[in-house]
Amino acid sequence: MLTGRQCENVVCDVHRTDMRSVEVRHSMGVVTRVVEGFACSVAGCVRFFGTEGYNDLTDKSEFANIRSQPSCSRAQTADPMYIQRTKDGLRWVCSSCGYVTTFSG
């Protein structure tokens, strides 16, 4: 999901549970855009991972409590990293270039 990016086995940064692929209608005043990303699978959790990083998705489809760190600066811009579940545990992964670093959290 996330156009132009690779994300697999995305984990919620709050609950450490698997997230599912979703499309969210994000309102920006009179303009509405569809945002691809991942939502926490825990009932009632509003955590979302998208192009801005981890954040809370409000009932008005607005982003709040944005967590943009850690970020990967290997590309021209600092891209937010996501937590990925592997058979050996959790790790941080850049959705743009695939750079991997140790998870501590």
- pLDDT value at position 89? 94
pLDDT band at 27 (very low <50, low <70, confident <90, very high): low
Residues 36-91 have pLDDT tens digits of: 899 999 999 999 998 889 999 888 778 899 887 888 877 667 788 999 999 999 99
- Give the C-alpha separation, 9 to 95, whole Å: 12
- pLDDT value at position 17? 96
Residue corresponding to tokens 């409000």? 58
Q: With contact defined as beta carbons under 8 Å apart, do 84 and 90 qualify?
A: yes
- Give the C-alpha separation, 70 to 99, whole Å: 12
